[in-house]
Amino acid sequence: MLRLPRLALVLAVLAAGGGVHAAGGTAPVATPRIGDTVADLRFKDIWYQQRSLADLGNPKATVLVFVNLTCPLVKRSWPKLVRLDEAYGPRGVRIVAIDAVEGDEIAELARTGLEHGVTFPLVKDRGASAAAALGAEFTPQAVVLDERRRIVYRGRIDDQLRLGGERPAATREDLREALDDLLAGRPVAVPETPVDGCRITPPAPPAPAPAVTFHEHVAPLLATHCQECHRENGGAPFPLVTFDDVAGQAAAVAEAVAERRMPPWYASRHEHFTNERGLDPAERRLVADWVRAGTPAGDPAEAPPAPAPAPAWAIGTPDLVVTALGSDALPADGFVDYRYVILPHVFLAETWVSGVEIKPSNPGTVHHANLAYMAVGDPIDDSNFITGRVPGGTAMILDEGLGFRIPANSVLVLQIHYTTTGKPETNRMSVGLTYPRVRIDRELKHLQVTTSKFEIPPGAPSHPVTASRTLPRDAFAVGMFAHMHLRGRDMTFTARPAEAAPETLLVIPNYHYAWQQNYRFTPGTKRFPKGTKIEVTAHFDNSSFNPFNPDPTVAVPYGPQTIHEMMFGFFFYVPDEPPLGLEIDPRNGRVRPAKAAAAPVTGAARAGG
């Protein structure tokens, strides 16, 4: 394969996390002076979207504060920044926190903001290009731009905090005074101050690339972490199996891996789950080193076996497949209201299932679908949730001995959220079910921790909504699932036992509508007593900075469509009770009658008389 020098240079810069500086090149720029005009900086938001100063609108002043996750002065400065935002935001000042430390993960930056009540934008400066363009060298260092993007102040927040100690209070609030001068139309009296803090380390020049090849080093990583989805019929938009598959997208793969955007995992790493995804630092370096080396193929004999195409059904061959009577016709573009389909099968008797999978005939048209059961003849009702098909999710496959019960005289109903593809499409939905082959001792249950009593104000960057439900019995937690729409920002699950300290179960600090995953505990490790409150708090971003927001000028109520909002925290559990001991008929999922006890043997019978 021909590799031009320019292509190799671009790949190397991307793999190292570098970016084009404000001046438009990859060489370091001269430190800007007070009064210089700053070009439109580039950075990534908490949803991994490329953003710029233009996305902030036209504020009277922009405060860019450089932060990281470890500097002690940054940790102690968050409350100061929150107070500054509260005081100056209504006066037309936009504050943005910029993390320029290469090893800091975007999700953990988002969690830090959540813990400190930050509502202003948090962004990632990969390659420290924004720091270089603004002349920032430390965290926490602030740079103030006027409405024409001229640097009018660069320096500390105030003079209270020092690395070696602190004053009881600040004697001069430098950033506040600079903003007061600017907003009053005066020249900033003290435009530059020294900064105590942690020095920003720009990325080192790429070292000579080691002998990393695709077949020996990269292909095994892909087989372990990526090819579950990135293979034929695997659900991902393209395969990552062969050398040509990956080399053709090397820069994109390196960037996604370096940002920890792939493999997808939206929970904070503070809590741990059995289905946690991610590459460790050494694995991420391997991918970057391979790209910097020019994507050498290596010896195909060193590669792991190619994965088989994804099976037709993740749950295995279903015992029952129920298909909708007709197909849905979809337009080429625009929003499609949720569609509801009642599937043509009646469960005449109580039925137990161990696997459930929702399968569209045209997967590219279905953003997500929820499956529920309802009584025959009732109006359409999707409240008795069974499982869902969501971006990044998996089919419902229960652990051995665990089952889900569908009551007698029920039918299945699907709520389908379609997305348009640019051309007219059709889709027909099916649901596959498998029946248990072993005795069922535990029934899967769940709480829907939700509320519909909210309205998100126009422009609100972090509107809180909280709901709770109470465990009706002693229980072991199985896992959790979060669902919001386009304005969902974060969601936190907390267990609050009556006589014990609360426990944070899950934090999704940068919720993404396109990646709605489940989070599963190791079975039997999380036990909670009856009466424990499961509390869920979500924040919604209805501001103009939210890149997915349809309209930040309107209030957003609860509602079923994408332009509305939902707040659902699903908490799955099994009761901590004596085993059910149910024998299930694998042909139909029904409970087999208990065997009649044998008649007692009389003494005469024993004697043979």
- For 557-596, what is the HEC assignment? EECCCCCCECCEEEEEEEECCCCCCECECCCCCCECCCCC
**11: Cα separation from own chain's centroid:** 27
Is pLDDT at 598 greater than 50 in this prediction? no
Q: What is the pTM of this model?
A: 0.89
- Give the largest Cα separation in the chain, rounded: 118
Kindly give the residue spans of alpha helices, DSSP state H, lying in 432-585.
Answer: none
pLDDT of residue 560: 82
Confidence of residue 558 (pLDDT cuts 50, 70, 90): very high
332, 330, 352, 356: which is closest to 343 by C-alpha?
356
**How many Å from the N-terminal Cα to the C-terminal Cα in the chain?**
93
Span 130-144, average pLDDT: 97
> What does pLDDT average to over the chain?
90
Residue 504 CB coordination number (10 Å): 12
Give CA angle at 553 (548, 557), nearest 5°. 75
Neighbours of 86 (CB within 10 A): 12
* 393 — pLDDT class (breaks 50, 70, 90): confident
Main-chain phi, psi angles of 181, to 5 degrees: -60, -45
HSE on the CB side for 107, CA within 13 Å?
21
What is the share, in percent, of the chain residues with pLDDT greater than 70?
93
Question: At 328, which helix (H) or strand (E)?
Answer: strand 328-330
pLDDT at 205: 77
The angle, 0 to 180 degrees and rounded to 10, between the axes of the packed helices 72-88 and 174-183 is 30
What element of type H or E holds 604? Answer: helix 603-607
Output the CA angle 56-57-62, nearest 5 degrees. Answer: 55
Q: Within 13 Å and on the Cβ side, how many CA atoms surround 88?
A: 27
Q: Over 80: is that where the pLDDT of 608 sits? A: no
Q: CA 587, CA 199: separation in Å to the nearest integer?
A: 67
- Segment 494-537, tens digit of pLDDT: 999 999 999 999 999 999 988 888 999 999 999 999 999 999 99
- Beta-carbon contacts of 328 under 8 Å, excluding residues fewer than 6 positions away, are 339, 341, 416, 418, 426, 427, 428, 429
Kindly tell me if the per-residue pLDDT of 368 is higher than 80: yes
**Residues 291, 292, 298, 303: is their CA dihedral positive or negative?**
negative
Please report the DSSP string for 82-118 in residue order: HHHHHHHGGGTEEEEEEE--TT--HHHHHHHHHHTT-
Give the pLDDT confidence score for residue 446 in this predicted structure. Answer: 96
pLDDT for residue 19: 34
**Region 320-441: CATH code:** 2.60.120.310
Q: What pLDDT score was predicted for residue 337? A: 85
Q: Which two tokens stand for residue 160?
A: 């209270």
CA–CA distances in Å: residue 345 to residues 375, 385, 588: 12, 17, 13
532: buried, middle or exposed (CB in 10 Å: 19+, 13-18, 0-12)?
buried
Mean pLDDT of 569-597: 91
> Does residue 10 carry a pLDDT above 60?
no
Higher per-residue pLDDT: 64 or 234: 64
Q: How confident is the model at residue 309 (pLDDT cuts 50, 70, 90)?
A: confident
Are both 20-199 and 445-575 of the same fold? Answer: no
Spell out the domain ranges in the chain.
20-199, 214-302, 320-441, 445-575
Asked if residues 534 and 568 have their Cβ atoms less than 8 Å apart, the reply is no
Q: Name the band, by pLDDT with cuts 50, 70 and 90, for residue 380.
A: confident
pLDDT at residue 28 in the model: 54
DSSP label at residue 430 = E
Fold of domain 20-199: Glutaredoxin (3.40.30)
Q: Does domain 445-575 have CATH number 2.60.120.230?
A: yes
pLDDT at 202 over 90: no
Indicate if the alpha-carbon torsion angle 21, 25, 31, 36 is positive or negative.
Answer: negative
Residue length, the chain?
Answer: 609
